[in-house]
Amino acid sequence: MSSKKSSNPWFISTLALIAMLFMSVSVAFYYYSAYNNLEQNYNRLLSDLKEVTNSVNLLVEFNNGTKVWYNGTLVPIGWSLFNLTLRAIGEVEYQTMYGSVIITGIMGERSSGSFFWLWYSWNSSSKDWDLGMVGADQYVLHEGDTLAWYLVDTSNFPNVPKP
């Protein structure tokens, strides 16, 4: 009777399904454990990273109204707006003038005529943009800064539009 039971196709199929179920559960548990381990390592690394970096936001606004945001960009403590601009945007043209870096082009859009790249910082108290008063290489970034590069028509300076 025993040999009849072990040769029954339903019995063999059931055993095979149980074995596959066991293997599937084992693989799922392995990947679940690996995922949890990676998530813990990621959170630990992110926590360590926050001790040596600042999270900043950068807006690039062109005179045609196009806006490109780089939100939550992590940069090393002590970096300048110039460092951030080079790192986040990549395609940047600049000159050194008057002991500071002057941005002359971003993403292929160059300063020309009365149009110049000016930078602004968001003033959370007044809820308005403040014009940057130093060169991009002299402004040291702070945690939570929101900054903007804006291609501005400066023909009516100091009455220039803000981002």
The pLDDT profile of the chain, 163 residues, written as one tens digit per residue, is 455 566 788 888 999 999 999 999 999 999 999 999 999 999 998 888 888 999 999 999 998 889 999 999 999 999 999 999 999 998 999 999 888 999 999 999 999 999 999 999 999 999 999 999 999 999 999 999 999 999 999 998 877 778 8
Give the global pTM.
0.71
CB neighbours of 54 closer than 8 A, spacing ≥ 6? 74, 75, 76, 77, 79, 141, 142, 143, 144, 145
Q: pLDDT by residue (tens digit) across 38-64? A: 999 999 988 888 889 999 999 999 988
Question: Looking at the domain 53-156, which fold is it?
Answer: Ferric Hydroxamate Uptake Protein; Chain A, domain 1 (2.170.130)
Domain boundaries, the chain: 2-50, 53-156
